Structure 1
Protein backbone atom coordinates (compact mmCIF):
# COMPACT_ATOMS: atom_id res chain seq x y z
CA UNK A 1 0.00 0.00 0.00
CA UNK A 2 1.44 3.34 -1.01
CA UNK A 3 1.45 6.21 1.44
CA UNK A 4 -1.88 7.96 0.92
CA UNK A 5 -4.55 9.75 2.90
CA UNK A 6 -7.53 7.70 4.09
CA UNK A 7 -10.79 9.40 5.08
CA UNK A 8 -13.10 7.77 7.62
CA UNK A 9 -16.54 9.38 7.44
CA UNK A 10 -20.28 8.88 7.46
CA UNK A 11 -21.32 6.99 4.32
CA UNK A 12 -23.55 8.85 1.86
CA UNK A 13 -25.78 7.73 -1.00
CA UNK A 14 -22.85 8.31 -3.36
CA UNK A 15 -21.04 5.45 -1.59
CA UNK A 16 -23.64 2.86 -2.61
CA UNK A 17 -21.41 2.15 -5.62
CA UNK A 18 -19.08 0.30 -3.21
CA UNK A 19 -21.78 -2.04 -1.85
CA UNK A 20 -20.99 -5.05 -4.05
CA UNK A 21 -17.31 -4.85 -3.15
CA UNK A 22 -18.15 -4.59 0.57
CA UNK A 23 -20.43 -7.64 0.49
CA UNK A 24 -17.98 -9.70 -1.55
CA UNK A 25 -15.03 -8.90 0.70
CA UNK A 26 -17.06 -9.61 3.85
CA UNK A 27 -17.94 -13.10 2.62
CA UNK A 28 -14.48 -13.95 1.30
CA UNK A 29 -12.83 -12.79 4.53
CA UNK A 30 -15.10 -15.02 6.61
CA UNK A 31 -14.24 -18.01 4.42
CA UNK A 32 -10.51 -17.26 4.68
CA UNK A 33 -10.74 -17.08 8.48
CA UNK A 34 -12.85 -20.22 8.63
CA UNK A 35 -15.42 -18.39 10.75
CA UNK A 36 -19.15 -17.99 10.47
CA UNK A 37 -20.82 -14.72 9.61
CA UNK A 38 -24.36 -13.55 8.96
CA UNK A 39 -24.60 -12.94 5.22
CA UNK A 40 -25.63 -9.45 4.14
CA UNK A 41 -27.26 -8.68 0.84
CA UNK A 42 -26.19 -5.67 -1.24
CA UNK A 43 -29.69 -4.27 -0.74
CA UNK A 44 -29.44 -4.42 3.06
CA UNK A 45 -26.03 -2.73 3.08
CA UNK A 46 -27.29 -0.03 0.72
CA UNK A 47 -30.25 0.54 3.03
CA UNK A 48 -27.94 1.11 6.01
CA UNK A 49 -26.11 3.75 3.98
CA UNK A 50 -29.36 5.46 2.97
CA UNK A 51 -30.47 5.57 6.61
CA UNK A 52 -27.23 7.24 7.73
CA UNK A 53 -26.23 4.21 9.80
CA UNK A 54 -22.92 3.40 8.13
CA UNK A 55 -19.31 4.55 8.28
CA UNK A 56 -17.00 4.17 5.32
CA UNK A 57 -13.28 4.65 4.77
CA UNK A 58 -12.05 5.78 1.35
CA UNK A 59 -8.84 7.09 -0.16
CA UNK A 60 -8.48 10.58 -1.57
CA UNK A 61 -9.10 9.04 -5.00
CA UNK A 62 -12.37 7.49 -3.85
CA UNK A 63 -11.12 3.91 -3.53
CA UNK A 64 -13.02 1.84 -0.96
CA UNK A 65 -10.99 0.98 2.14
CA UNK A 66 -13.34 -0.15 4.92
CA UNK A 67 -16.91 -0.20 6.23
CA UNK A 68 -19.13 -0.75 9.27
CA UNK A 69 -22.70 0.03 10.33
CA UNK A 70 -25.00 0.15 13.33
CA UNK A 71 -28.61 -0.83 13.95
CA UNK A 72 -31.10 -0.03 16.70
CA UNK A 73 -33.17 -2.60 18.60
CA UNK A 74 -35.97 -2.76 21.17
CA UNK A 75 -37.14 0.82 20.95
CA UNK A 76 -33.62 2.32 21.17
CA UNK A 77 -32.64 0.17 24.17
CA UNK A 78 -29.84 -1.56 22.26
CA UNK A 79 -27.53 -0.57 19.42
CA UNK A 80 -25.48 -3.14 17.53
CA UNK A 81 -22.15 -2.27 15.90
CA UNK A 82 -21.68 -4.72 13.06
CA UNK A 83 -20.18 -5.53 9.68
CA UNK A 84 -16.67 -4.18 10.26
CA UNK A 85 -14.56 -5.02 7.22
CA UNK A 86 -11.35 -3.60 5.74
CA UNK A 87 -10.01 -4.22 2.24
CA UNK A 88 -6.96 -6.54 2.33
CA UNK A 89 -4.61 -3.93 0.86
CA UNK A 90 -5.28 -1.55 3.75
CA UNK A 91 -5.18 -3.92 6.71
CA UNK A 92 -2.76 -3.50 9.61
CA UNK A 93 -2.75 0.27 9.07
CA UNK A 94 -5.14 1.33 11.86
CA UNK A 95 -8.17 1.62 9.57
CA UNK A 96 -10.30 -0.89 11.47
CA UNK A 97 -9.74 0.93 14.76
CA UNK A 98 -10.59 4.29 13.19
CA UNK A 99 -13.85 2.90 11.79
CA UNK A 100 -14.67 1.14 15.06
CA UNK A 101 -14.10 4.33 17.04
CA UNK A 102 -16.28 6.37 14.67
CA UNK A 103 -19.23 3.94 14.60
CA UNK A 104 -19.08 3.70 18.40
CA UNK A 105 -19.06 7.48 18.83
CA UNK A 106 -22.03 7.85 16.51
CA UNK A 107 -23.95 5.24 18.50
CA UNK A 108 -23.14 7.00 21.77
CA UNK A 109 -24.05 10.44 20.48
CA UNK A 110 -27.40 9.57 18.92
CA UNK A 111 -28.46 7.00 21.54
CA UNK A 112 -26.66 7.99 24.76
CA UNK A 113 -28.87 5.77 26.96
CA UNK A 114 -28.66 2.65 24.79
CA UNK A 115 -26.54 -0.39 25.52
CA UNK A 116 -24.16 -1.04 22.64
CA UNK A 117 -23.20 -4.58 21.74
CA UNK A 118 -20.97 -6.38 19.29
CA UNK A 119 -20.82 -10.07 18.42
CA UNK A 120 -17.54 -11.28 16.98
CA UNK A 121 -15.13 -14.18 16.77
CA UNK A 122 -12.15 -11.97 15.89
CA UNK A 123 -9.52 -11.34 18.56
CA UNK A 124 -8.61 -7.95 17.08
CA UNK A 125 -12.19 -6.68 17.29
CA UNK A 126 -12.52 -8.02 20.84
CA UNK A 127 -9.43 -6.03 21.79
CA UNK A 128 -10.83 -2.84 20.21
CA UNK A 129 -14.15 -3.40 21.99
CA UNK A 130 -12.40 -3.83 25.33
CA UNK A 131 -10.49 -0.57 24.82
CA UNK A 132 -13.81 1.23 24.30
CA UNK A 133 -15.27 -0.20 27.51
CA UNK A 134 -17.09 -3.30 26.25
CA UNK A 135 -17.23 -6.40 28.45
CA UNK A 136 -17.89 -10.03 27.47
CA UNK A 137 -21.46 -11.07 28.31
CA UNK A 138 -23.80 -13.98 27.70
CA UNK A 139 -26.21 -13.73 24.80
CA UNK A 140 -29.19 -13.26 27.09
CA UNK A 141 -27.79 -9.85 28.09
CA UNK A 142 -28.06 -8.39 24.60
CA UNK A 143 -31.16 -7.76 22.51
CA UNK A 144 -33.94 -10.33 22.36
CA UNK A 145 -35.36 -8.77 19.19
CA UNK A 146 -36.28 -11.60 16.81
CA UNK A 147 -35.30 -9.54 13.77
CA UNK A 148 -31.72 -9.44 15.02
CA UNK A 149 -31.54 -13.20 15.51
CA UNK A 150 -33.16 -13.77 12.12
CA UNK A 151 -29.98 -12.35 10.63
CA UNK A 152 -27.97 -15.17 12.19
CA UNK A 153 -29.80 -17.84 10.19
CA UNK A 154 -27.46 -17.36 7.24
CA UNK A 155 -24.41 -18.10 9.41
CA UNK A 156 -22.88 -21.58 9.09
CA UNK A 157 -22.88 -21.87 12.88
CA UNK A 158 -26.58 -21.13 13.33
CA UNK A 159 -27.33 -24.74 14.33
CA UNK A 160 -24.87 -24.37 17.23
CA UNK A 161 -26.62 -21.19 18.35
CA UNK A 162 -30.02 -22.85 18.25
CA UNK A 163 -28.72 -26.01 19.89
CA UNK A 164 -27.58 -23.93 22.85
CA UNK A 165 -30.89 -22.04 22.91
CA UNK A 166 -29.16 -18.75 22.09
CA UNK A 167 -27.21 -18.79 25.34
CA UNK A 168 -23.88 -18.73 23.49
CA UNK A 169 -22.18 -19.69 20.25
CA UNK A 170 -18.72 -19.65 18.68
CA UNK A 171 -18.88 -15.85 18.64
CA UNK A 172 -18.36 -13.73 21.74
CA UNK A 173 -20.94 -11.13 22.73
CA UNK A 174 -19.52 -7.90 24.16
CA UNK A 175 -21.57 -5.13 25.73
CA UNK A 176 -21.03 -1.46 26.54
CA UNK A 177 -23.41 -0.39 29.30
CA UNK A 178 -23.50 3.43 29.70
CA UNK A 179 -25.19 3.08 33.08
CA UNK A 180 -22.28 1.31 34.71
CA UNK A 181 -20.14 3.67 36.76
CA UNK A 182 -16.81 2.58 35.28
CA UNK A 183 -18.09 3.38 31.78
CA UNK A 184 -19.10 6.95 32.53
CA UNK A 185 -15.65 8.20 31.55
CA UNK A 186 -16.68 7.86 27.90
CA UNK A 187 -19.06 10.78 28.06
CA UNK A 188 -20.64 12.96 25.41
CA UNK A 189 -18.28 15.87 25.92
CA UNK A 190 -16.59 15.44 22.52
CA UNK A 191 -19.95 15.98 20.83
CA UNK A 192 -20.67 19.17 22.76
CA UNK A 193 -17.24 20.74 22.39
CA UNK A 194 -16.57 23.18 19.56
CA UNK A 195 -13.13 24.04 18.24
CA UNK A 196 -12.05 26.71 15.80
CA UNK A 197 -9.54 26.95 12.96
CA UNK A 198 -8.69 30.10 11.01
CA UNK A 199 -7.14 29.81 7.55
CA UNK A 200 -5.27 32.60 5.78
CA UNK A 201 -5.79 31.90 2.07
CA UNK A 202 -4.11 33.26 -1.06
CA UNK A 203 -5.60 32.76 -4.53
CA UNK A 204 -3.36 33.38 -7.54
CA UNK A 205 -4.04 33.68 -11.28
CA UNK A 206 -4.34 30.40 -13.14
CA UNK A 207 -2.49 30.25 -16.44
CA UNK A 208 -4.06 28.54 -19.43
CA UNK A 209 -2.20 25.71 -21.13
CA UNK A 210 -3.85 26.46 -24.47
CA UNK A 211 -1.85 28.60 -26.88
CA UNK A 212 -3.27 32.11 -27.12
CA UNK A 213 -5.94 31.51 -24.49
CA UNK A 214 -6.28 33.71 -21.44
CA UNK A 215 -6.03 32.24 -17.99
CA UNK A 216 -8.09 32.99 -14.90
CA UNK A 217 -7.26 36.06 -12.84
CA UNK A 218 -6.79 35.99 -9.08
CA UNK A 219 -10.30 37.27 -8.36
CA UNK A 220 -11.97 34.49 -10.33
CA UNK A 221 -9.70 31.89 -8.76
CA UNK A 222 -10.62 33.20 -5.33
CA UNK A 223 -14.35 33.26 -6.11
CA UNK A 224 -14.27 29.59 -7.14
CA UNK A 225 -12.77 28.59 -3.80
CA UNK A 226 -14.95 31.00 -1.81
CA UNK A 227 -18.04 29.44 -3.39
CA UNK A 228 -16.80 25.98 -2.35
CA UNK A 229 -16.21 27.09 1.24
CA UNK A 230 -19.70 28.59 1.33
CA UNK A 231 -21.57 25.61 -0.13
CA UNK A 232 -19.65 22.48 0.86
CA UNK A 233 -21.29 20.29 3.51
CA UNK A 234 -19.27 17.70 5.36
CA UNK A 235 -21.11 14.35 5.60
CA UNK A 236 -23.10 14.47 8.82
CA UNK A 237 -24.42 11.92 11.23
CA UNK A 238 -28.16 11.37 11.06
CA UNK A 239 -30.26 13.80 13.11
CA UNK A 240 -27.27 15.84 14.32
CA UNK A 241 -26.24 19.44 13.59
CA UNK A 242 -23.65 20.15 10.89
CA UNK A 243 -20.28 19.09 12.32
CA UNK A 244 -18.25 21.69 10.38
CA UNK A 245 -19.23 25.27 9.57
CA UNK A 246 -16.97 27.33 7.28
CA UNK A 247 -17.35 31.10 6.90
CA UNK A 248 -15.34 33.28 4.51
CA UNK A 249 -14.32 36.72 5.82
CA UNK A 250 -11.92 39.57 4.97
CA UNK A 251 -11.55 39.28 1.20
CA UNK A 252 -8.70 41.58 0.11
CA UNK A 253 -6.76 42.38 -3.05
CA UNK A 254 -4.55 45.15 -4.35
CA UNK A 255 -7.07 47.73 -5.56
CA UNK A 256 -4.41 49.52 -7.62
CA UNK A 257 -3.93 46.53 -9.88
CA UNK A 258 -7.65 45.73 -10.11
CA UNK A 259 -8.24 42.57 -12.18
CA UNK A 260 -4.54 42.19 -12.90
CA UNK A 261 -3.72 41.64 -9.26
CA UNK A 262 -1.25 38.85 -8.69
CA UNK A 263 -3.12 37.54 -5.68
CA UNK A 264 -6.38 37.75 -3.75
CA UNK A 265 -6.32 37.10 -0.03
CA UNK A 266 -9.21 35.94 2.13
CA UNK A 267 -9.77 34.41 5.53
CA UNK A 268 -11.84 31.34 6.40
CA UNK A 269 -13.15 30.74 9.90
CA UNK A 270 -13.98 27.09 10.63
CA UNK A 271 -15.94 25.92 13.67
CA UNK A 272 -16.17 22.16 14.15
CA UNK A 273 -17.00 19.46 16.65
CA UNK A 274 -15.18 16.18 17.15
CA UNK A 275 -17.01 14.35 14.39
CA UNK A 276 -14.00 15.37 12.30
CA UNK A 277 -10.40 15.95 13.26
CA UNK A 278 -8.50 19.05 12.20
CA UNK A 279 -6.36 16.88 9.93
CA UNK A 280 -9.43 15.45 8.16
CA UNK A 281 -10.87 18.93 7.62
CA UNK A 282 -7.61 20.36 6.29
CA UNK A 283 -7.09 17.48 3.88
CA UNK A 284 -10.66 17.77 2.61
CA UNK A 285 -10.08 21.46 1.90
CA UNK A 286 -6.77 20.71 0.20
CA UNK A 287 -8.45 18.17 -2.09
CA UNK A 288 -11.20 20.58 -3.17
CA UNK A 289 -9.56 24.00 -3.50
CA UNK A 290 -6.71 25.59 -5.46
CA UNK A 291 -5.73 28.38 -3.10
CA UNK A 292 -2.66 28.27 -0.90
CA UNK A 293 -3.48 28.48 2.78
CA UNK A 294 -1.89 28.39 6.19
CA UNK A 295 -3.48 27.60 9.53
CA UNK A 296 -3.30 30.61 11.81
CA UNK A 297 -1.44 29.44 14.87
CA UNK A 298 -2.57 32.17 17.24
CA UNK A 299 -6.21 31.05 17.21
CA UNK A 300 -7.38 28.41 19.64
CA UNK A 301 -10.91 28.82 20.85
CA UNK A 302 -12.92 26.14 22.59
CA UNK A 303 -16.53 26.76 23.53
CA UNK A 304 -18.79 24.37 25.38
CA UNK A 305 -22.44 23.98 24.42
CA UNK A 306 -24.75 23.32 27.33
CA UNK A 307 -25.03 19.53 27.59
CA UNK A 308 -28.66 19.68 28.66
CA UNK A 309 -29.66 21.62 25.56
CA UNK A 310 -27.67 19.27 23.34
CA UNK A 311 -29.20 16.12 24.81
CA UNK A 312 -32.68 17.62 24.52
CA UNK A 313 -32.04 18.21 20.83
CA UNK A 314 -30.97 14.59 20.39
CA UNK A 315 -34.14 13.39 22.11
CA UNK A 316 -36.36 15.60 19.96
CA UNK A 317 -34.66 14.51 16.76
CA UNK A 318 -35.07 10.84 17.63
CA UNK A 319 -38.70 10.87 18.75
Structure 2
Protein backbone atom coordinates (compact mmCIF):
# COMPACT_ATOMS: atom_id res chain seq x y z
CA UNK A 1 0.00 0.00 0.00
CA UNK A 2 1.11 3.53 -0.64
CA UNK A 3 0.51 6.60 1.50
CA UNK A 4 -0.61 9.89 0.05
CA UNK A 5 1.78 12.56 1.27
CA UNK A 6 0.12 15.57 -0.35
CA UNK A 7 -3.16 16.24 1.48
CA UNK A 8 -5.33 19.25 0.74
CA UNK A 9 -4.99 20.37 4.36
CA UNK A 10 -2.26 20.13 6.96
CA UNK A 11 -3.56 17.87 9.75
CA UNK A 12 -0.34 18.07 11.73
CA UNK A 13 -0.75 21.82 12.15
CA UNK A 14 -4.34 21.36 13.39
CA UNK A 15 -3.64 18.45 15.71
CA UNK A 16 -3.41 20.92 18.59
CA UNK A 17 -7.09 21.69 18.04
CA UNK A 18 -8.00 18.02 18.34
CA UNK A 19 -5.82 17.71 21.44
CA UNK A 20 -7.59 20.64 23.04
CA UNK A 21 -10.99 19.11 22.31
CA UNK A 22 -9.85 15.83 23.84
CA UNK A 23 -8.49 17.57 26.94
CA UNK A 24 -11.61 19.73 27.35
CA UNK A 25 -13.72 16.59 27.52
CA UNK A 26 -11.44 15.18 30.19
CA UNK A 27 -10.45 12.21 28.07
CA UNK A 28 -6.81 12.39 29.11
CA UNK A 29 -7.67 12.40 32.81
CA UNK A 30 -6.65 9.21 34.60
CA UNK A 31 -9.41 6.88 35.80
CA UNK A 32 -7.82 5.01 38.72
CA UNK A 33 -11.16 3.83 40.11
CA UNK A 34 -12.04 2.15 36.83
CA UNK A 35 -8.67 0.45 36.79
CA UNK A 36 -8.92 -0.59 40.42
CA UNK A 37 -12.20 -2.35 39.59
CA UNK A 38 -10.61 -3.99 36.56
CA UNK A 39 -7.63 -5.06 38.65
CA UNK A 40 -9.93 -6.56 41.25
CA UNK A 41 -11.83 -8.50 38.58
CA UNK A 42 -8.63 -9.79 37.00
CA UNK A 43 -7.13 -10.86 40.31
CA UNK A 44 -10.37 -12.60 41.23
CA UNK A 45 -10.32 -14.45 37.91
CA UNK A 46 -6.67 -15.37 38.38
CA UNK A 47 -7.24 -16.65 41.90
CA UNK A 48 -10.36 -18.49 40.78
CA UNK A 49 -8.58 -20.16 37.87
CA UNK A 50 -5.71 -21.41 40.01
CA UNK A 51 -8.17 -22.52 42.71
CA UNK A 52 -10.02 -24.51 40.04
CA UNK A 53 -6.68 -25.96 38.98
CA UNK A 54 -6.04 -27.15 42.54
CA UNK A 55 -9.54 -28.59 42.92
CA UNK A 56 -9.53 -30.49 39.62
CA UNK A 57 -6.17 -32.01 40.47
CA UNK A 58 -4.42 -34.69 38.44
CA UNK A 59 -6.76 -34.83 35.45
CA UNK A 60 -6.80 -34.25 31.70
CA UNK A 61 -9.71 -31.88 32.33
CA UNK A 62 -6.99 -29.43 33.34
CA UNK A 63 -6.54 -28.61 29.66
CA UNK A 64 -9.76 -26.61 29.97
CA UNK A 65 -8.27 -24.81 32.96
CA UNK A 66 -5.24 -24.08 30.79
CA UNK A 67 -7.50 -22.43 28.21
CA UNK A 68 -9.17 -20.35 30.92
CA UNK A 69 -5.79 -19.25 32.26
CA UNK A 70 -4.70 -18.26 28.74
CA UNK A 71 -7.54 -15.74 28.64
CA UNK A 72 -6.78 -14.50 32.16
CA UNK A 73 -3.10 -14.07 31.29
CA UNK A 74 -4.14 -12.08 28.24
CA UNK A 75 -6.19 -9.72 30.39
CA UNK A 76 -3.26 -9.33 32.78
CA UNK A 77 -1.01 -8.48 29.84
CA UNK A 78 -3.45 -5.75 28.75
CA UNK A 79 -3.14 -4.13 32.18
CA UNK A 80 0.64 -4.29 31.86
CA UNK A 81 0.32 -2.58 28.49
CA UNK A 82 -1.76 0.22 29.98
CA UNK A 83 0.68 0.63 32.86
CA UNK A 84 3.53 0.86 30.38
CA UNK A 85 1.76 3.82 28.75
CA UNK A 86 1.08 5.37 32.18
CA UNK A 87 -2.65 5.25 31.56
CA UNK A 88 -3.58 4.10 35.06
CA UNK A 89 -2.04 6.62 37.47
CA UNK A 90 -0.45 10.02 37.05
CA UNK A 91 2.76 9.03 38.80
CA UNK A 92 5.41 6.99 37.01
CA UNK A 93 6.22 4.93 40.10
CA UNK A 94 2.67 3.67 40.65
CA UNK A 95 2.33 2.67 36.99
CA UNK A 96 5.69 0.89 37.14
CA UNK A 97 4.65 -1.08 40.21
CA UNK A 98 1.49 -2.26 38.47
CA UNK A 99 3.41 -2.96 35.28
CA UNK A 100 6.14 -4.99 36.97
CA UNK A 101 3.56 -6.95 38.97
CA UNK A 102 1.51 -7.90 35.92
CA UNK A 103 4.58 -8.67 33.83
CA UNK A 104 5.79 -10.97 36.62
CA UNK A 105 2.44 -12.73 36.77
CA UNK A 106 2.65 -13.66 33.07
CA UNK A 107 6.43 -14.14 32.94
CA UNK A 108 7.65 -11.10 30.99
CA UNK A 109 10.27 -8.43 31.48
CA UNK A 110 8.31 -5.22 31.91
CA UNK A 111 11.20 -2.90 31.07
CA UNK A 112 12.15 -4.86 27.96
CA UNK A 113 8.59 -4.82 26.69
CA UNK A 114 8.07 -1.10 27.38
CA UNK A 115 11.24 -0.20 25.49
CA UNK A 116 10.26 -2.34 22.53
CA UNK A 117 6.71 -1.06 22.50
CA UNK A 118 7.77 2.59 22.73
CA UNK A 119 9.96 2.11 19.65
CA UNK A 120 6.93 0.70 17.87
CA UNK A 121 4.79 3.69 18.80
CA UNK A 122 7.48 6.09 17.60
CA UNK A 123 7.74 4.36 14.20
CA UNK A 124 4.66 2.22 13.48
CA UNK A 125 5.04 0.06 10.36
CA UNK A 126 8.40 1.62 9.52
CA UNK A 127 10.40 -0.94 7.56
CA UNK A 128 13.57 -0.54 9.61
CA UNK A 129 12.56 1.14 12.87
CA UNK A 130 9.45 -0.75 13.99
CA UNK A 131 10.54 -3.77 16.08
CA UNK A 132 7.12 -5.38 15.51
CA UNK A 133 8.12 -5.92 11.87
CA UNK A 134 11.26 -7.79 12.89
CA UNK A 135 9.85 -11.28 13.25
CA UNK A 136 12.20 -13.97 11.88
CA UNK A 137 9.44 -16.46 11.07
CA UNK A 138 7.46 -13.97 8.95
CA UNK A 139 8.12 -11.51 6.13
CA UNK A 140 6.19 -8.25 5.96
CA UNK A 141 8.06 -6.64 3.07
CA UNK A 142 9.41 -7.95 -0.26
CA UNK A 143 12.93 -7.23 0.98
CA UNK A 144 12.42 -9.34 4.07
CA UNK A 145 11.01 -12.17 1.97
CA UNK A 146 13.89 -12.15 -0.51
CA UNK A 147 16.42 -12.25 2.31
CA UNK A 148 14.99 -15.45 3.80
CA UNK A 149 16.96 -18.66 3.36
CA UNK A 150 16.33 -22.33 4.00
CA UNK A 151 13.34 -23.21 6.13
CA UNK A 152 12.52 -19.55 6.77
CA UNK A 153 12.25 -18.96 3.01
CA UNK A 154 9.84 -21.89 2.69
CA UNK A 155 7.82 -20.51 5.58
CA UNK A 156 7.66 -17.09 3.92
CA UNK A 157 6.17 -18.71 0.83
CA UNK A 158 3.23 -20.09 2.77
CA UNK A 159 3.15 -17.68 5.70
CA UNK A 160 -0.50 -16.80 5.22
CA UNK A 161 -1.37 -20.45 5.93
CA UNK A 162 1.12 -20.66 8.78
CA UNK A 163 0.22 -17.37 10.46
CA UNK A 164 -2.36 -18.62 12.96
CA UNK A 165 -0.43 -21.81 13.86
CA UNK A 166 2.69 -19.68 14.41
CA UNK A 167 0.81 -17.61 16.97
CA UNK A 168 1.00 -20.66 19.22
CA UNK A 169 4.69 -19.79 19.63
CA UNK A 170 4.11 -16.13 20.51
CA UNK A 171 4.00 -16.72 24.25
CA UNK A 172 7.23 -18.71 24.17
CA UNK A 173 8.86 -16.00 22.06
CA UNK A 174 7.92 -13.33 24.59
CA UNK A 175 9.32 -15.39 27.46
CA UNK A 176 12.60 -16.05 25.66
CA UNK A 177 13.01 -12.42 24.59
CA UNK A 178 12.44 -11.30 28.17
CA UNK A 179 15.07 -13.67 29.52
CA UNK A 180 17.55 -12.69 26.81
CA UNK A 181 17.04 -8.99 27.54
CA UNK A 182 17.78 -9.53 31.22
CA UNK A 183 20.81 -11.75 30.60
CA UNK A 184 22.20 -9.18 28.15
CA UNK A 185 21.55 -6.45 30.71
CA UNK A 186 19.40 -4.54 28.25
CA UNK A 187 17.13 -3.40 31.08
CA UNK A 188 17.98 -0.94 33.84
CA UNK A 189 16.72 -2.87 36.87
CA UNK A 190 18.47 -6.13 36.03
CA UNK A 191 18.22 -7.62 39.52
CA UNK A 192 14.55 -6.77 39.88
CA UNK A 193 13.65 -8.12 36.45
CA UNK A 194 15.72 -11.27 36.94
CA UNK A 195 14.16 -11.91 40.35
CA UNK A 196 10.61 -11.47 39.08
CA UNK A 197 11.21 -13.74 36.09
CA UNK A 198 12.82 -16.39 38.30
CA UNK A 199 9.92 -16.30 40.78
CA UNK A 200 7.44 -16.72 37.93
CA UNK A 201 9.27 -19.61 36.26
CA UNK A 202 10.00 -21.51 39.47
CA UNK A 203 6.53 -20.92 40.92
CA UNK A 204 4.68 -21.77 37.72
CA UNK A 205 6.59 -24.99 37.02
CA UNK A 206 6.50 -26.07 40.67
CA UNK A 207 2.72 -25.72 40.90
CA UNK A 208 2.03 -27.42 37.56
CA UNK A 209 4.36 -30.37 38.08
CA UNK A 210 3.31 -30.76 41.74
CA UNK A 211 -0.35 -31.21 40.85
CA UNK A 212 -0.12 -32.97 37.48
CA UNK A 213 1.70 -36.00 36.19
CA UNK A 214 4.70 -35.15 33.98
CA UNK A 215 2.85 -35.85 30.72
CA UNK A 216 -0.22 -33.90 31.82
CA UNK A 217 1.96 -31.05 33.05
CA UNK A 218 3.70 -30.75 29.69
CA UNK A 219 0.35 -30.83 27.89
CA UNK A 220 -1.05 -28.20 30.27
CA UNK A 221 1.89 -25.88 29.69
CA UNK A 222 1.68 -26.35 25.92
CA UNK A 223 -2.03 -25.56 25.81
CA UNK A 224 -1.81 -22.66 28.26
CA UNK A 225 1.19 -20.95 26.68
CA UNK A 226 0.07 -21.71 23.14
CA UNK A 227 -3.44 -20.32 23.55
CA UNK A 228 -2.09 -17.31 25.44
CA UNK A 229 0.13 -16.58 22.46
CA UNK A 230 -2.80 -16.95 20.08
CA UNK A 231 -4.90 -14.60 22.21
CA UNK A 232 -2.20 -11.93 22.25
CA UNK A 233 -1.53 -12.37 18.56
CA UNK A 234 -5.21 -12.04 17.67
CA UNK A 235 -5.34 -8.87 19.78
CA UNK A 236 -2.22 -7.14 18.46
CA UNK A 237 -1.88 -8.34 14.85
CA UNK A 238 -5.01 -6.59 13.44
CA UNK A 239 -3.74 -3.19 14.58
CA UNK A 240 -1.07 -2.63 11.92
CA UNK A 241 -0.35 -5.78 9.93
CA UNK A 242 -1.49 -5.38 6.34
CA UNK A 243 -1.56 -1.60 6.69
CA UNK A 244 0.74 0.72 4.66
CA UNK A 245 4.45 0.31 5.36
CA UNK A 246 6.79 3.28 5.60
CA UNK A 247 10.08 2.90 3.72
CA UNK A 248 13.29 4.10 5.30
CA UNK A 249 13.35 7.32 3.26
CA UNK A 250 9.75 8.31 4.02
CA UNK A 251 9.09 10.81 6.78
CA UNK A 252 5.58 11.73 7.85
CA UNK A 253 4.18 14.09 10.44
CA UNK A 254 2.93 12.60 13.70
CA UNK A 255 -0.75 12.51 12.72
CA UNK A 256 -0.30 10.83 9.34
CA UNK A 257 2.29 8.41 10.70
CA UNK A 258 -0.09 7.22 13.41
CA UNK A 259 -3.45 7.33 11.61
CA UNK A 260 -2.55 5.90 8.20
CA UNK A 261 -0.65 2.91 9.57
CA UNK A 262 -3.28 1.91 12.14
CA UNK A 263 -6.56 0.03 11.93
CA UNK A 264 -9.55 0.03 14.29
CA UNK A 265 -11.79 -2.95 14.95
CA UNK A 266 -15.53 -2.36 15.12
CA UNK A 267 -17.50 -3.79 18.01
CA UNK A 268 -19.20 -3.09 21.29
CA UNK A 269 -18.31 -3.49 24.94
CA UNK A 270 -17.46 -7.18 24.51
CA UNK A 271 -14.90 -6.35 21.80
CA UNK A 272 -13.47 -3.59 24.00
CA UNK A 273 -12.99 -6.06 26.85
CA UNK A 274 -11.77 -8.96 24.73
CA UNK A 275 -9.15 -6.87 22.91
CA UNK A 276 -8.15 -4.76 25.90
CA UNK A 277 -9.10 -1.51 24.16
CA UNK A 278 -6.58 -2.20 21.39
CA UNK A 279 -9.48 -2.16 18.94
CA UNK A 280 -9.24 1.66 19.16
CA UNK A 281 -5.75 1.57 17.75
CA UNK A 282 -5.93 4.91 15.91
CA UNK A 283 -7.00 6.79 19.02
CA UNK A 284 -4.47 4.88 21.11
CA UNK A 285 -1.60 5.81 18.81
CA UNK A 286 -2.59 9.46 18.70
CA UNK A 287 -3.03 9.60 22.49
CA UNK A 288 -1.06 6.68 23.99
CA UNK A 289 -1.53 7.97 27.54
CA UNK A 290 -5.32 8.05 27.26
CA UNK A 291 -7.01 5.60 29.69
CA UNK A 292 -8.49 2.61 27.92
CA UNK A 293 -12.07 3.41 28.95
CA UNK A 294 -11.87 6.84 27.29
CA UNK A 295 -10.77 5.65 23.87
CA UNK A 296 -14.30 4.89 22.72
CA UNK A 297 -15.32 8.45 23.60
CA UNK A 298 -12.41 9.90 21.64
CA UNK A 299 -13.34 7.91 18.52
CA UNK A 300 -16.02 10.33 17.21
CA UNK A 301 -13.66 13.29 17.63
CA UNK A 302 -10.86 11.55 15.78
CA UNK A 303 -13.16 10.32 13.00
CA UNK A 304 -14.46 13.82 12.43
CA UNK A 305 -10.92 15.21 12.46
CA UNK A 306 -9.77 12.67 9.86
CA UNK A 307 -12.78 13.34 7.63
CA UNK A 308 -12.20 17.08 7.82
CA UNK A 309 -8.56 16.69 6.80
CA UNK A 310 -9.00 14.02 4.15
CA UNK A 311 -7.29 11.27 6.15
CA UNK A 312 -8.43 7.70 5.72
CA UNK A 313 -9.84 6.37 8.98
CA UNK A 314 -9.36 2.61 8.69
CA UNK A 315 -11.95 0.60 10.57
CA UNK A 316 -13.23 -2.89 9.92
CA UNK A 317 -14.58 -5.98 11.64
CA UNK A 318 -12.33 -8.42 13.46
CA UNK A 319 -12.81 -11.00 10.70
CA UNK A 320 -12.13 -8.36 8.07
CA UNK A 321 -8.90 -7.34 9.78
CA UNK A 322 -7.60 -10.90 9.88
CA UNK A 323 -8.49 -11.29 6.20
CA UNK A 324 -6.48 -8.17 5.38
CA UNK A 325 -3.51 -9.48 7.34
CA UNK A 326 -3.61 -12.83 5.56
CA UNK A 327 -3.96 -11.21 2.12
CA UNK A 328 -0.90 -9.08 2.79
CA UNK A 329 1.18 -12.02 3.98
CA UNK A 330 0.04 -14.11 1.00
CA UNK A 331 0.95 -11.32 -1.42
CA UNK A 332 4.43 -10.95 0.09
CA UNK A 333 5.04 -14.68 -0.33
CA UNK A 334 3.70 -14.80 -3.90
CA UNK A 335 7.03 -14.09 -5.68
CA UNK A 336 8.71 -16.82 -3.67
CA UNK A 337 6.00 -19.29 -4.59
CA UNK A 338 6.51 -18.34 -8.24
CA UNK A 339 10.23 -18.98 -7.91
CA UNK A 340 11.13 -15.33 -8.41
CA UNK A 341 12.94 -12.85 -6.21
CA UNK A 342 10.51 -10.24 -4.77
| Bucket of the pairwise TM-score, normalised by the shorter protein | under 0.3
> Which has the larger share of strand?
1
Query: What TM-score do the two structures reach when normalised by structure 2?
Result: 0.21
Query: What TM-score do the two structures reach when normalised by structure 1?
Result: 0.22
> Which has the larger share of helix?
2
Q: Which has the larger radius of gyration?
A: 1
Higher relative contact order (CA 8 A, sep 6+): 2
